[in-house]
Homo-oligomer: A and B are copies of this chain.
């Protein structure tokens, strides 16, 4: 059965990426990316805009590159796929978080880009195209400690849960 799940985004990072390394050696970097849609309101004629925040998940080699070169405010192009993870909040209720698993990225903004963040590092070595040998989903890293599993659920904890189930590919 034919299947395609592809996402293409260009936007700016809301924070510096957070890199985590797992006992297995796997690495993952999470960060939010903002895309902003603007249009003119048909009724009032005024300028409107709406910002969408995307939860990006970089893995393996891409995670390293993201952590090394991307900073808060960095403009970036990414290709990836949508993945919704199920987790349980404190009350045991099912909750869902949608993420973008990044398969390919391009740093944009050649000179001195980076918003309020210290993006200088990227100047040194940044620029270029990065990707995992994508199509084939890579092995997910073993989970970090997580007593929080079926309990607390701040966005950060939610992100971790995805790696608890050994059967779900990353």
Contact = CB atoms under 8 A, between A and B. Distances in A.
Interface of A: 1-12, 35-40, 42-43, 48, 50, 52-54, 75, 77, 79, 81-84, 91, 95-98, 104, 106-113, 127-129, 131, 133-139, 167-169
Interface centre among A81, A82, A83, A139 (most CB of B within 10 A): A82
A82 B82 contact: yes
B77 A10 contact: yes
Given A52-B84, A135-B104, A95 B98 contact: no
Given A38-B128, A38-B129, A39-B169, A110 B1 contact: yes
Given A98-B84, A135-B104, A129 B3 contact: yes
Nearest to A78: B4
Contacts of A6: 7-9, 79
A2 B111 CA distance: 12
A2 B52 contact: no
B37 A81 contact: yes
Contacts of A52: 5, 81-84
A50 B168 contact: yes
Nearest to A168: B50
Contacts of A77: 2, 4, 10, 77
11 contacts: A1-B127, A1-B128, A2-B127, A2-B129, A3-B106, A6-B8, A7-B8, A10-B106, A52-B83, A111-B111, A112-B112
